[in-house]
Structure 1
Amino acid sequence: MSEHAALIAPAAAAFSTILRGIGDTELTARTPCAEYDVRALLNHLLYWGPWLEAAGRKAPPPEVATGEAKAALVGADWLDAAERQTARLVDVFGTPEAWQGMTALGTTEMPASIVGDMVLGEFVFHGWDLARAIGRTVDVAPEAAEAVYASAAAMGEQARSMKVYGEEVVVAEGATTFERALGATGRNPAWTA
C-alpha cells in the first residue's frame, strides 16, 4: 500500500543504526534465522537488495553470475555497501509510485505493494534479527509494526510453503503487535543469542 512508503525511511534509519553496531567479531554470531549467522544474513540482504530495487523501479532484475548461497558479498567494505543499498531502497520505496501497479521480482509478476512490504519487512524483521544476534534491542514504530504484522499475516501460509517464513510461533496473550508479527513469520520474540 502506497501509504506504507512513509514508513520506509524511518525503518531504514533504525536498520542502519543496527548495521553500524555490528563489529567484525560479531559476523559469526548466530541469528534468529536458523540457517544464517550474521555474515550470511548480511550476504542475504546484499544479494536480494538489487532485486528489490529493480522491482521497485519496474526494471529488469540484475544479472548475477551466482546464487545467494555462492555469493560472497560481505567483504571489508560490507557496511558501506549495505548503507548505500539501504539508501537506494529508501529512494525507490520512499515514493508512492514504487508501490503502485504491477512489477516483477525476478520472473515472478506481482503487485508492487507486495514488494514494498517485503522491503519494509527486510528492514524491520532482519533489523530485529541482527540486533538480537549482537545482543541489542530495536524500537519499531507502532505504524511499522502494524504494517509488517498485516503483511506477515496475509502472506503467512504462502511464505511458509515457500520456506520464507518458519512455522508460526504462538506468542503470549497480551503480546505487542510487533511480537505478533515476529511470531507470524516464525520468529520467537523471546529469542536470545
Structure 2
Amino acid sequence: MTDPTLDLGPQVRVIARLAEGVSDGQLADATPCPDWAVRNMLGHVLGLSVAFRDAARKELGPTTDTDPGDLTPDIGSDWRAELPKVLDELADAWRDPAAWTGMTRAGGIDLPGEVAAAVAVDELVVHGWDLARATGRPYTPDPAALQLSHDFLFTAANDPSRGGGIFGPVVPVPAGAPLLDRAVGLSGRDPGWGH
C-alpha cells in the first residue's frame, strides 16, 4: 500500500531544478525515450503533472481521460513559468489525505487513489532520470520517491498478468546495483544510457 504521508514536494523540486537548467539549445536533444526530444519529455512531464493533479483532486475530465500514448507531447512558449507552477500544484494536491482514497482516473484508466499516487511518483522519478541523462546533469531523486518508484516497478514487472515491465521489457541490472539503476532497468531503460 502506498503511504499517504509521502510528500511529492521533494521530488517535484528535483524536477523543477532540472527543468530550470535546460537551455533552449537542448530542447531538440535526444532522450532515453527514442521518439522524444527534451522538449517532448518536458511536455510529457507538464501534461502528467496536470493529469495527476486533477486525479488527486478527483476533478475528472479531459485532463484525466486522455491516454498519454495518443499524442506526442510538446511545450508551449510559456513552459518555463508553467511547469514549476503545475509541479507545485501536483505536490499540493497529493498532500490532501482524501487524494489517496477512493477511486480516481488518470490516462483514461480508473484506479484507486493510492495507485494513482504511485504512478505519479514513478513518472516523476523515471522522467527525472530521463531529463537528467538527456541534458547531462546529475540526478539524485528524493529517496522516499525513489523507493516507492522501485517497489511499484518491481511489483509490475513481476506480475504475470502484465507480461513484464510497464514501459517496455525490463533491462537486467545487477542485484547489487544502486537502487536508481535498478528502478531505471525495471522501467525498461538502460541505466548506462548517455554514458
1:141 to 1:51, Cα distance in 2 relative to 1, 3 A: closer
Q: Normalization by structure 2: what TM-score? A: 0.85
C-alpha spacing 1:187/1:70, structure 2 compared with 1 (3 Å): closer
Unaligned 5+ runs, structure 1: none
CA distance, structure 1, for counterparts of residue 91 and residue 106 of structure 2: 17
Partner of 2:75: 74
Name the structure 2 match of 1:169.
171
Structure with higher RCO (Cα < 8 A, 6+ apart): 1
1:153 aligned partner: 154
What is the match of residue 42 of structure 2? 42
> Secondary structure of 2:3's match?
helix
Structure 2: tracts of 5 or more residues without a match: none
CA distance in 2, matches of 1:138, 1:107: 30
1:100 is matched with 101
- Does structure 1 retain, via aligned residues, the 8 Å contact 2:12–2:91? yes
Identity value in percent: 30
Cα root mean square deviation, aligned:
2.7
Q: What is the TM-score with the length of structure 1 in the denominator? A: 0.86
In the TM superposition, residue 150 of structure 1 has moved relative to its aligned partner by: 0.6
- 1:14 paired residue number: 14
Alignment of 1:46-61 (within 5 A): 46-61=46-61
Give the Cα separation in 2 of the matches to 1:2 and 1:171: 25
Change (3 A) 1:23 1:122: same
